[in-house]
Structure 1
Amino acid sequence: MPNQIKDLHTVDDSSYPYIFEQNAAVVLKSSEGLVRCNVYRPKDSGEQSRVPVLVTYGPYGKDIHYKDFHAKSYSEVNPEHHSDHSAWETPDPGFWTKHGYAVVRADERGLGQSPGLLDTMSRGTSEAFFEVIEWAAEQPWSSGKVGLLGISYYAGSQWRVAARQPKGLSAIIPWEGMSDYYRDRCRHGGILSNAFIKFWWNRQVITNQYGRPGRSARNWGPDTIEGDLSEDELEKNRQDQTKDNAVHRFRDEPYYASKEYDMGDIEVPLLTVANWGGILLHLRGNVEGYCHAGSDLKYLRFVTGRHDLPFYYKEEVEVQRSFLDAFLKGEDRVGWSVKGKLPPVDLVLRRGDVGFDDPENEKQYTRRTEQEWPIARTRYTKFFLTQNRELTTEEPPQDVRKKLSYKALGTLEDPQYLQFSTAPFEAETEITGHVVAHLNVSMSPEPSGPTPTDIDLFVTLRHISPQGKEVHYTGTAGDPVPLTKGWLRVSLRKTNPDHPRHRPWLPHRDYCSTDVLPVIPGEVYSADVEIWPTNVIVEKGGRIVFEVASGDTQGSGVFQHNDPADR
């Protein structure tokens, strides 16, 4: 960095109900530079009263207040979590210091007040996070025990750093956070998920880059301590996710390979919280993280609602606090630390049509615990597609086959799809777990068009009530979403049955450059499409609709796959 580093670490122990340290510096060993943190700790903490620490590390600005980052969301958050230093997707210092925790909120390297290369979700920035955790464990006001708690980005980063096993890390709660950078976030079934990455990068990341001029004038946190950087310097000091994910297509390229890690290396107690409505970003990662983490004590909890609000619901905060108290304070009120005492899986069951983006109505959903995931007593059932666009458990005769067609490329504005429906269910039926669609697909060129070289499959499961109305659920941003979705680029249809994660109900794909197979007009190809896990209790008279499309359809929201080059 061209500008000389300054030390503006300040401590305020009088203005707030907690001690507030701003811009404490963690000097990095793994790379040049430092990471700056804000520290919030109880006023009675000190050498004789050390407290456990909750750490967050991310791109959204440790000094940007929640109300400035997203005013509508902040106005709806449980007011118990409103304070002078509330911040988007992170634990509120006012609440947690009152309950005996210090909170360390770090600006990710290259963002906010932390100089260095902006390279979100990279190996390098995870190494810096590792150092922040070990720093927090070593502070004189720290008990030496560190927990991680946060939503979305602040959850996704937890998986990678926990696999590094930093000293002091004692428990993690990744709340709606993807664990697989390629499969969960960037390339669904090999198809670039460009629209959200562009929105996220341009609104929430690059606007907070270290050295970005005019942040204070935009009410986007204070200006950079060392002053502004030129546009040329800013560009040199960042890896642009919108460009990198478009250019790189396969997991064996260094860009994606550098972000890989072994979930089995995660050993700390783990509570992973998945949202049934997060069908385009986080849901899969929370479930897979639970299945493959090496932790002896691990729990999977499901919620519903917008991604920003349930984290602060009173009942959910009590779950967070009891879990963290058990492993960071040694105060286990319910049995988290005793293997086998608590059921490891806690489901919320989606029965009925309660509307969407309505937290009060969603309280009608009931809960049930299970001993494993997926549920052992699941009856995996084959449904067949018929030429009459039915979805039936009766296998049609092998000699009865019909080609049903739709136009490509479909868009959200002009969707092109086929739908297949079950008959009304004769009894209440629960569908909980994983779904896979085995399709036989082909493509033909338009008479005046170029020769196509691939097929992108977009599949959706929809729930139709006994009254004939589609039941919508709360999506990540509060938008109406169907039950679940899945995707596949047919040139990447190759699966790896020998991989330990390959399961009949969840095919494993390596998504390597060496896996690409030809797609030739007129040839019929069999493809297994992974559909993200789901839950619904279909009432008597209700139906399930299976949709196959050539592009995004209803429920995609901001998570669209419409890059003109990729598609």
Structure 2
Amino acid sequence: MAENKHMIIDKENFPYVFIKNIDIPLKTYEKDGKDVPYGETPDPGYWTRKGYIVVRADERGAGQSPGFLDTVSRGTSEAFFDVIELAVEQEWSSGKVGLLGISYYAGTQWQVAARKPKGLAAIIPWEDMSDYYRDRVRHGGILSDRFIDFWWNNVVSPNQYGKPGRATRKWGDDTLEGDLNEDTLLENRRDQTINTAMHKFRDEEYYRSRDFDVEAIEIPLLSVANWGGILLHLRGNALGWIRASSKYKFLHFIVGRHDLPFYYPESAELQLSFFNSFLKDDDAGGWKSGNQPRTDWPLPGTEYTKFFLTPENTLSTTSTSSTKMVEYDALHGKPIIFKYKTSSSLEITGHITAHLTVSATRESNDAPVPTDIDLFITLRKMNSKGEEVFYTGTMCDPVPIVKGWQRVSLRKVDATNKLHEEYLPYRKYYSTDAQAVEENQQYEVGVEVWPTNVVLDPEETLVLEIAGHDTQGVGKFSHEHADDRDPKVFGGKNCVTVGGGASWLTLPIINSGKQMD
């Protein structure tokens, strides 16, 4: 191999040996390319002091790695596979590799672990996605475009291999082999903002090529979910844990903003204890012996309880005989709300489903006839004074308890799938599953609401909010793509039929032991 004139070895400025720009495929696994020891990845200062070697590599087509840039693709996991197997073969390697990172650096762990590279011994996907279509791109079939635009245009695209001016922008070093012109850059990337909008169904090649078998994962895993990640990561950690086949698998929940908790001392100790057990055979933390607290998910003994929507805009465990159609403006109107005031403490932990009977009608006789309905569900908590209780979201923003979404034309459920549960409807989201929505026709739809954990004290109120658009708490994760949310398709009035058992909310109640109204 020719001498690498770009390689830098720094033994002076860090409490560890820092080697930069070593020969491909080993580089810094950093889509952001900032070439700093943080940014949702492990701190090498901490880990080298604990007897570990930290390896990071630029994704293909990003940073200093040439090639075609296609994030979350099959190529991503193939290259990651090669990096792991190369690391295992190095003279400094013990032959065991663990994966650790947040967000993108967690989601890609599921992908590559399913491929079973030699030497991969344990993973810690910390706030991630394990299902590209359902967790990240299309919530209930609805395009979550704003975050994708933000992420691509502010994080990924500026760091494409060959992009001029990176050093000037303080976005990593300039490409070592020189800049590329715009035409070449365009040919060398697959723009996630374009492809996610263009492709709507999971059976299209774009999504099909990104699918992988989570059940194939058998190595030890610690899946860390954040209760506040109600728009991107929470579902992926819970569902990934459910699907993985690992003998040793743990699901750990945290709270707080998206990035900082990863680096808290107690978090680093948790990560270290887990890796010591499965990479160094030091089970002081009891991960193998069973000393770690273990339970199933959903929680054993969960009481799935129906709370019916009533004509009085309340939630009740008893269905009323009278019915009513509650109407709202689909694209711009205020949400409709239904309330349940607790008389005693109430814990809700697990997966939630909103079973709604819905219909659509035009706004006026000369208005376009709506041909689809998008349902946006939010659960909120009000204290005894009637003030909303907010929680810390991904961006440190105030968020409600949880949210859920469903495009009614994609309502078809595959009840034969082994992952289908009454509390967690399974949908394939194939083009062949799309069903018509006709004006003034009623449709029964089970809306998956993401998992949550909340306790309501006596005299506090649970609020169910139903809308045809994003509402407070969505932040940078809104669904507002002009083509995907075409007013001619989704405009007009939406109606929810309540009373008579037509619509209800299934809540996972924990050890209630008390009478509910």
Q: What pairs with 1:29-178 in structure 2 (closer than 5 Å)?
A: 35-38=25-28, 57-61=29-33, 63=35, 65=36, 86-178=37-129
Q: CA deviation at 1:6?
A: 6.6
Superimposed CA distance per residue, residues 146-199 of structure 1 (whole angstroms, 9 cap, x where no aligned partner): 000000000000000000011111110000001000000000000000000000
Q: CA deviation at 1:301?
A: 0.2
Q: CA deviation at 1:341?
A: 3.6
CA contact (8 A) 1:36 1:114 kept: no
Q: Which residue in the other structure is 1:385 paired with?
A: 309
Q: What pairs with 1:294-373 in structure 2 (closer than 5 Å)?
A: 294-338=245-289, 340-344=290-294, 371-373=295-297
Among the aligned pairs, what percent are the same residue?
Answer: 57
Separation of aligned partners in 2, 1:409 and 1:479 = 24
Separation of aligned partners in 2, 1:215 and 1:204 = 12
Separation of aligned partners in 2, 1:337 and 1:62 = 37
Which ranges of structure 2 fall in alignment gaps of 5 or more residues? 486-517
Find the residue that maps to 1:548 and give its secondary structure: strand
User: Structure 1 counterpart of 2:231, which letter?
Assistant: L
Q: CA deviation at 1:7?
A: 5.1
User: Structure 2 counterpart of 1:394, which letter?
Assistant: T
Separation of aligned partners in 2, 1:5 and 1:259 = 36
Identify the match of residue 510 of structure 1 among 428, 442, 448: 428
Find the residue that maps to 1:103 and give its secondary structure: coil
Q: CA deviation at 1:10?
A: 2.9
Q: CA deviation at 1:142?
A: 1.1
Identify the match of residue 559 of structure 1 among 464, 469, 477: 477
Q: CA deviation at 1:563?
A: 0.5
Which ranges of structure 1 fall in alignment gaps of 5 or more residues? 27-34, 39-56, 66-85, 345-370
Q: Which residue in the other structure is 1:52 paired with?
A: none
Q: Which residue in the other structure is 1:490 paired with?
A: 408
Identify the match of residue 187 of structure 2 among 221, 230, 236: 236
Q: Which residue in the other structure is 2:244 paired with?
A: 293
User: Structure 2 counterpart of 1:406, which letter?
Assistant: Y
Please, what TM-score do these two structures have when normalized by structure 1? 0.84
Q: CA deviation at 1:329?
A: 1.1
2:496 maps to 1:546:
no
2:444 maps to 1:444:
no
Q: Which residue in the other structure is 1:351 paired with?
A: none
Find the residue that maps to 2:57 and give its secondary structure: strand
CA contact (8 A) 1:6 1:226 kept: no
Q: CA deviation at 1:62?
A: 5.4
Which structure has more relative contact order (CA 8 Å, sep 6+)? It is 2
Find the residue that maps to 1:449 and give its secondary structure: coil
Q: Which residue in the other structure is 1:276 paired with?
A: 227
User: Structure 1 counterpart of 2:450, which letter?
Assistant: W
Separation of aligned partners in 1, 2:415 and 2:23 = 48
Distance 1:6 1:253, change over 3 A: farther
Find the residue that maps to 2:283 and give its secondary structure: coil
Q: CA deviation at 1:14?
A: 3.3
Q: Which residue in the other structure is 1:210 paired with?
A: 161
CA contact (8 A) 1:466 1:541 kept: yes
Separation of aligned partners in 2, 1:200 and 1:134 = 29
Q: Which residue in the other structure is 2:380 paired with?
A: 462
CA contact (8 A) 1:37 1:105 kept: yes
Separation of aligned partners in 1, 2:3 and 2:360 = 59
CA contact (8 A) 1:271 1:299 kept: yes
Separation of aligned partners in 1, 2:3 and 2:82 = 19
**Alignment length, in residue pairs?**
483
Separation of aligned partners in 2, 1:563 and 1:396 = 39
Q: Which residue in the other structure is 2:177 paired with?
A: 226
Q: CA deviation at 1:277?
A: 0.4
User: Structure 2 counterpart of 1:216, which letter?
Assistant: A
Q: CA deviation at 1:95?
A: 0.9
Q: Which residue in the other structure is 1:81 paired with?
A: none
Aligned-residue RMSD, C-alpha: 1.3
CA contact (8 A) 2:379 2:462 kept: yes
Identify the match of residue 345 of structure 2 among 403, 428, 438: 428
Separation of aligned partners in 2, 1:484 and 1:14 = 48
CA contact (8 A) 1:216 1:222 kept: yes
Q: Which residue in the other structure is 1:406 paired with?
A: 328
Separation of aligned partners in 2, 1:210 and 1:553 = 38
Find the residue that maps to 2:21 and give its secondary structure: strand
2:471 maps to 1:535:
no
Please, what TM-score do these two structures have when normalized by structure 2? 0.92
Separation of aligned partners in 2, 1:419 and 1:275 = 26
CA contact (8 A) 2:34 2:171 kept: no
Separation of aligned partners in 1, 2:23 and 2:125 = 25
Separation of aligned partners in 2, 1:7 and 1:522 = 70
User: Structure 1 counterpart of 2:328, which letter?
Assistant: Y
CA contact (8 A) 1:119 1:238 kept: yes
CA contact (8 A) 2:142 2:405 kept: yes
CA contact (8 A) 1:416 1:551 kept: no
Find the residue that maps to 1:382 and give its secondary structure: strand
Find the residue that maps to 1:500 and give its secondary structure: coil
Find the residue that maps to 1:274 and give its secondary structure: strand
Distance 1:219 1:62, change over 3 A: closer
Separation of aligned partners in 1, 2:484 and 2:26 = 38
Q: CA deviation at 1:5?
A: 12
CA contact (8 A) 2:26 2:83 kept: no
